[in-house]
Amino acid sequence: MILSDYTCDGCEVVFEATVESPSPDFIPCPVCCHAASWTPSPIACHMPRVTAVRGRWEPPERKTFLDTRNLAEGQDIDDFRADRAAVWERQRQEDVMKVKRGLE
């Protein structure tokens, strides 16, 4: 059983229905009983959050973005966690200074 999106041809209601896989093209609308056609789910059509490009690396937009390259190169997990804590502490200090400047 899978969850699929359907759009009613009669009352134009969009609804989700649990159906057998693969999704049938038409099912009865629960509101008006007209034929409802299968609609591609918006979630199924989005790009994945992370897209890997072979042989290419771009630096993260902010220092607080998680970068695990050092772990892949053999860094100890405790050292990695300490480095990440230091990055977040610097970010916290910068945020405090921004607020402090705004109050002056």
Q: In what order do the strands lie in the sheet with 35-39?
A: 14-19, 2-8, 35-39, 26-28
pLDDT level of residue 9 (50, 70, 90 thresholds): confident
Residue 89 confidence (pLDDT): 96
Residue range 41-56, pLDDT digits in tens: 666 555 555 555 556 6
Six token digits for residue 78: 């405790």
Closest CA to 5 of 78, 79, 24, 68: 24
Cα 104 to Cα 25, 37, 90, 96, 97, distances in angstroms: 64, 61, 21, 13, 11
User: In the predicted model, what is the mean pLDDT of the chain?
Assistant: 84
Q: What are phi and psi of 67, to 5 degrees?
A: -125, 110
Q: What is the mean pLDDT of residues 28-47?
A: 77
Task: Give this prediction's pTM.
Answer: 0.44
Residue 51 confidence (pLDDT): 56
Closest CA to 38 of 50, 51, 48, 29: 29
Q: What is the mean pLDDT of residues 24-32?
A: 90
Residue 61 confidence (pLDDT): 84
99 versus 60: the higher-pLDDT residue is 99
